[in-house]
Amino acid sequence: MSVCRVLSVVAASVAFTHLSWAGPPLSIDDPGILDPWQWEIITATTATSTDGGDFYQAPLIDVSLGLTENIQIAAAYPYVYSDPDGGSSDWDFGNFEAGIKWRFINNENVQVAFSPRFAWGVTRELADQGIGDDSDTAFIPVTFEYAVNDAWTVTGEIGYAMVEDSGDEWGYGWAFTYGLNDKADLLLELSGSADTDIENDFVTGRVGLDYGFTEAIHGLFAVATGLREPSGEDELDYDIFIGLQYFR
């Protein structure tokens, strides 16, 4: 798996087939919408290890703003440290991503949203160093959520990624949230991507925790590992996400 591909698949909220928003600390989005003019600010550190080297985002900034009852906007920007095997290490800004989310179904148990987003490519020099992807990417997903009961929630996402100067892809994911108590939620996710022929697929498993210190401040943690990747690609050993979420 290439260095750029690793960052785009497993980075917690900057990659599409991760570059990405259930939202952090997971890689897929959720259909939830902030209240009008409510802010959500997430600052995080991620660490990713593959056969091709080690990569860190410190910090990763993810900001969202509710506009109406069913529309919000968001943007994410990471500062990336790249330490590739056989190459020199370096720091720089990775892919900037922005998007909008429109929730068009919202009832007692079901929410469904359309959330297109766009990531701007970095320079070829930075991409060769492993700091982001040099292709502009548009991702067009539909996300749904079903509240099974007071404890369990199921979230799913499927979308189409249009990658500049490269083959287009499908991205998908399933997440399960279990309320451990009034403050903590356990998060389980299976996500992946494949080319338009549904071949050369990548699959990642992730376990996370969302802990509410207060209503306004949450601690986020997740760890992921690669479960499947095409032959000849770098294997994902682990991806760790540690962050703070603030609502205002």
pLDDT in tens, 113-125: 999 999 999 999 9
Q: Which pLDDT score, from 0 to 100, does residue 232 have?
A: 65
CATH number of the domain bearing residue 60 = 2.40.160.40
**Per-residue confidence band for 9, with pLDDT thresholds at 50, 70 and 90:** very low
In angstroms, the CA 116 to CA 2 distance is 25
pLDDT at 73 over 60: yes
Which residues are within 8 A (CB) of 231 and not within 5 positions of it... i.e. 6 or more apart? none
Query: Which DSSP symbol is given to 231?
Result: T
Count of domains for the chain: 1
pLDDT in tens, 180-213: 999 999 999 999 988 887 777 889 999 999 999 9
pLDDT at 223 over 70: yes
Asked if 143 and 107 count as a contact pair (C-beta separation under 8 A), the reply is no
Which residues are within 8 A (CB) of 216 and not within 5 positions of it... i.e. 6 or more apart? 246, 247, 248
Peptide bond into 59 cis (omega under 30): yes
Element (H, E) at 71: strand 71-84
Q: Which pLDDT score, from 0 to 100, does residue 18 have?
A: 35
pLDDT in tens, 35-44: 999 999 999 9
Q: Taking residues 42-48, report their average pLDDT.
A: 96
pLDDT at 19 over 80: no
CA distances from 35 to 65, 69, 103, 208 (A): 8, 6, 12, 25
In angstroms, the CA 231 to CA 5 distance is 14
pLDDT at 22 over 70: no
Which residues are within 8 A (CB) of 193 and not within 5 positions of it... i.e. 6 or more apart? 9, 17, 161, 169, 170, 171, 172, 201, 202
Element (H, E) at 3: helix 3-10
Asked if 177 and 153 count as a contact pair (C-beta separation under 8 A), the reply is yes
**Per-residue confidence band for 5, with pLDDT thresholds at 50, 70 and 90:** very low
Structure tokens at 16: 């599409």
What values do phi and psi take at 5, rounded to 5? -65, -40
The model's pTM: 0.88
pLDDT at 10 over 60: no
Domain that holds residue 176: 3-247
Q: Which pLDDT score, from 0 to 100, does residue 234 have?
A: 73
Structure tokens at 78: 């990471």
pLDDT at 1 over 60: no
Angle at 200 between CA 119 and CA 90, to 5 degrees: 45
Point out the least confidently predicted range of 4-8, 107-111, 242-246.
Answer: 4-8
